[in-house]
Copies of this chain bind each other. A is one copy, B any other.
Amino acid sequence: MSALPAAKTSPGNFFEDFQLGQTIRHATPRTVTLGDVALYNGLFGARFAVQSSDIFAQKIGYPRSPLDELLVFHVVFGKTVADISLNAVANLGYADCRFLKPVFPGATLTAVSEVIGLRENSNRKTGIVYVRSRGFDETGDTVLDYARWVMVRKRDEAAPVPGDHVPRLLDAVLPSTLGDACPRIDVAAYDFTLAGSPSRFGDYAVGEKIDHVDGVTVEEAEHQIATRLYQNTARIHFDQYSAAQGRFARRLIYGGHVISLARSLSFNGLANAFHIAAINGGRHVSPLFAGATVFAWSEVLAKAELAGRTDVGALRLRTVATADRPCHDFPYKNGDDYDAAVLLDLDYWALIPR
């Protein structure tokens, strides 16, 4: 009783604090509301009709407009930050991310992660932590499931290695597992004029590249408001005082902000690809800073029919986002290296009416 009080603030987990197979229940359950949707729309300007109009959504078979899948992703991801990546050096990648159930305004989301891999780096200063994170709604159903790996600092270089296992992760989500978060839709009731484009599944060809044309300049207030909306508290996004002393001297914009910007830009060319069913992999190639203008283009990597479904098909898309670089010539890689303007290389499956 007379001892000093225990520390009340968490310094976050360091590499040696993780254990293989460990399960972490993340803090701060979150009821996601119409208000969050409005703010998300104001920040990204999404125009996909299913998410924009309750009436449009109802006509094709949803009970109402679902939340944008990326809003669900960001809210779940945000919960994991305090436990997984507060001491991260780099966010290395995502894989095998599937959206499993539509989420509607009013749902309350929680998140749990399992440590599925650990490998110390040879410098002994850092290690790679692999987690599988799941988002749940208030009924306990899983709405989102993804793997992620991050490079995390060690508190003490001499600390013993907590494990040595690199999990095998899918290169791409199998088409046979897509579509759980998209109800069977009534394509006859899908109004392509209202949706903004006549192009359907059959109109896209593998290898086709689409310049999304528009550019959007990012302001500090915008990415901060977005990232706080997800209750993602990674200091690097908010604290200019500390950032000024760091490598970039600037606040680093949450990588997910770029994903949402690119998705919104992609409406111009992919207006009917209304549902992100899965993310195969995502790489944040270079950091984004406020003041830059983001552009994007996409390539159709593959097409897949979904077993037993004639309503929608899946396009496997690579969407590339750039900074201060229009995309009419589809900048990507020069040899093995990414073009210097590339911010994001995102590989995902989107569903589109057939």
Contacts and interface: CB of A to CB of B under 8 A. Distances in A.
Interface of A: 5-6, 8-10, 25, 27-31, 33-39, 41-45, 47, 49, 52-56, 65, 82, 106, 108, 110, 138, 193-197, 199, 203-205, 208, 210-217, 219-222, 224-229, 231, 233, 235, 238-242, 251, 268-271, 291-293, 295, 324, 326
Contacts of A44: 228
B210 A9 contact: yes
A27 B240 contact: no
Contacts of A251: 217
Contacts of A239: 214-217, 293
A211 B291 contact: no
A226 B33 CA distance: 19
Copies per assembly = 3
19 contacts: A8-B204, A8-B269, A9-B210, A9-B212, A9-B213, A27-B194, A28-B49, A28-B194, A29-B52, A29-B53, A30-B52, A35-B38, A38-B39, A39-B42, A45-B233, A54-B106, A217-B239, A233-B268, A242-B326
Contacts of A225: 42-43, 221-222
A110 B33 contact: no
Given A52-B30, A239-B293, A41 B214 contact: no
A270 B53 CA distance: 34
Contacts of A233: 45, 47, 214, 268
Residue among A9, A25, A65, A211 with most chain B CB within 10 A: A9
Contacts of A138: 55
Contacts of A45: 227-229, 231, 233
Contacts of A269: 8-9
B47 A28 contact: yes
B34 A33 contact: yes
Contact of A56 (B10, B29, B270, B324): B29
A251 B42 CA distance: 17
Residue among A203, A210, A214 with most chain B CB within 10 A: A214
Given A6-B199, A35-B37, 13 more contacts: A6-B203, A8-B270, A9-B210, A9-B268, A27-B196, A29-B52, A35-B35, A39-B42, A42-B229, A47-B233, A52-B231, A239-B293, A241-B292
